[in-house]
Copies of this chain bind each other. A is one copy, B any other.
Amino acid sequence: MMLRIAPELNEVKDIVSVGVRNKWLVVLLGVFGVNYKGRAVSELSCGERLLIIKPDRCVLIHNSGGVNPINWMREGSSINAKLNDEVLKIKVLNINPREELVLIIKKVSAVFTNDFSSAGELRVIGSEADMARRIYENPSIISKNFRPVSLEEQTKYGFIDVLGCEEKDYVIVECKRYKAGLSGVQQLRRYVEKFKKARGINNVKGVLAAPSITRNALKMLNDWGFSFKRVEPPMHLIGERMVQEKLSKFLHENETKN
């Protein structure tokens, strides 16, 4: 572990170099500007920012607000620090795609490096896939006669969340976790059209399943002869009223399925 408060830039250079070499975590709070050139070109004028270099050698530069970094480089970059002309220049390179990030560091309030071991994965409930699975397992959500056939059926034009039938008709269900918008309708439309064409049939219904839908999207849906099915968001099952026991059970079931 290494740490300096208000260090000289040559000390910073050493700490960053050690951290990068050892694949440790590096955290630096300081004043610097950033130039990026790669998938776009960006310029970030000098100011107080937080620099993070992770063991996997991805680089994050954070402003004082916002969830997303204002600049970043993805994992596997090569990182080089060098002192010149009263500033510390950190150059970060990636190939494929070729990208370059340059930090011009003028002043550092604090810099820190330490081992940072990797830890377990996240488990999430309430995704679109959970929603599709719920429909698959409780087909009456869609209609009395709905009989699900497959889940996340792969096609060349994307995958169909739930495919099923209703008496003699095929039914394609597209799920959206929250309010459905135009793009959801377009997606459904694409699947229905391609499905009809691929099988040379015409009796294919389209259903958009979501907790709600925007006005425009509903209009478009109707224009195309599809229907909207109001479905509780995937979170519904695990809402406030749900007891902890149920949650654990759900989590466990979910886990065993993956």
Distance, CA A49 to CA B119, complexed state (A): 7
Q: Which of A186-205 contact B (CB under 8 A)?
A: 186-187, 189-190
Min Cβ gap A231→B in Å is 16
Distance, CA A1 to CA B4, complexed state (A): 13
User: Chain B interface: which of A7-15, A67-75, A83-91, A141-149?
Assistant: A67-75
Contact across chains for B182 and A157 when beta carbons are under 8 A apart: yes
Min Cβ gap A67→B in Å is 5
Chain B CB within 10 A, most for which of A40, A56, A182: A40
Contact across chains for A64 and B55 when beta carbons are under 8 A apart: yes
Is A58 positioned at the interface, with any CB of B under 8 Å from its CB?
yes
User: Inside 8 A of A55's CB, which chain B residues have their CB?
Assistant: 64-65
Within the complex, which residue of B49, B50, B235 is in contact with A40, where a contact is CB–CB below 8 Å?
B235
Is A63 positioned at the interface, with any CB of B under 8 Å from its CB?
yes
User: Chain B interface: which of A124-132, A159-167, A168-176?
Assistant: A124-132
> In the complex, given contacts A42-B125, A156-B216, what are 20 additional A-B residue pairs having Cβ atoms less than 8 angstroms apart?
A3-B3, A25-B50, A29-B116, A40-B127, A40-B235, A41-B247, A42-B122, A42-B123, A42-B124, A43-B122, A48-B119, A52-B62, A56-B66, A60-B67, A66-B75, A67-B74, A158-B182, A186-B186, A186-B187, A190-B220
What are 8 A-B pairs at a CB distance below 8 A?
A: A40-B234, A41-B126, A44-B120, A44-B123, A50-B52, A52-B62, A54-B62, A67-B75
A→B interface (CB under 8 Å): 1, 3, 5, 25, 27, 29, 37, 39-50, 52, 54-56, 58, 60, 62-67, 69-72, 74-75, 109-110, 112, 114, 116-120, 122-127, 156-158, 182-183, 186-187, 189-190, 216, 220, 234-235, 238, 247, 251
